[in-house]
Amino acid sequence: MNLNQVTIPSLDLDQASDFYQKLGLKLIVKALPNYLRFECPLGASTFSVHLVEKLPEGEGIYLYFECEDVDETVGKLMRKGIEIDELPSDKSWLWREARLKDPDQNQIILYYAGKNRKDPPWRIKST
């Protein structure tokens, strides 16, 4: 099994389209007024946004996008006018992360984990 895509809700697809293209995703389907699909620049995964009348309540959705150089990526995004909530820092779970929000307040985490993404020291060992 392989994860094909994740779809998140949005109140404004024009804003979402602008934001995710600035983030570096390639718009591949524009089925307005209801749906957008993006292709990630690396790998085979896609990401989509669909129009809703009301956003889910609570903390929202957390989206993790891995990039080799978090600091450089954050610098580029800041130059494009994207607000960063948490600048890059090393985390106790051995990832380097930065955090921001999309226009619908979904949490975006830009990170680099290297081998620790799938094989951290505390990974459950197969028997």
Q: What DSSP element (H or E) covers 110? A: strand 107-112
Over the chain, what is the mean pLDDT?
94
- For residue 79, the 8-state DSSP code is H
b vs e for 87-115, b when ≥16 Cβ sit within 10 Å of the residue's Cβ? ebeeeeeebbbbbbebbbebebbbbbbee
What is the set of domains in the chain, with CATH numbers?
A: 5-117 (3.10.180.10)
| Each residue's pLDDT tens digit, 5-19 | 899 999 999 999 999
Q: How confident is the model at residue 2 (pLDDT cuts 50, 70, 90)?
A: confident
Count of residues making up the chain: 127
The pTM of this model reads: 0.91
| Each residue's pLDDT tens digit, 49-95 | 999 999 998 888 999 999 999 999 999 999 999 999 999 999 999 99
Quote the pLDDT of residue 27: 97
pLDDT exceeds cutoff 80 at 127: no
Rounded to whole angstroms, what are the CA distances from 13 to 6, 8, 20, 29, 68? 16, 11, 10, 12, 28
Quote the pLDDT of residue 4: 84
- For residue 74, the 8-state DSSP code is H
DSSP 18-53: HHHHHHTPEEEEEETTTEEEEE-SSSS-EEEEEE-S
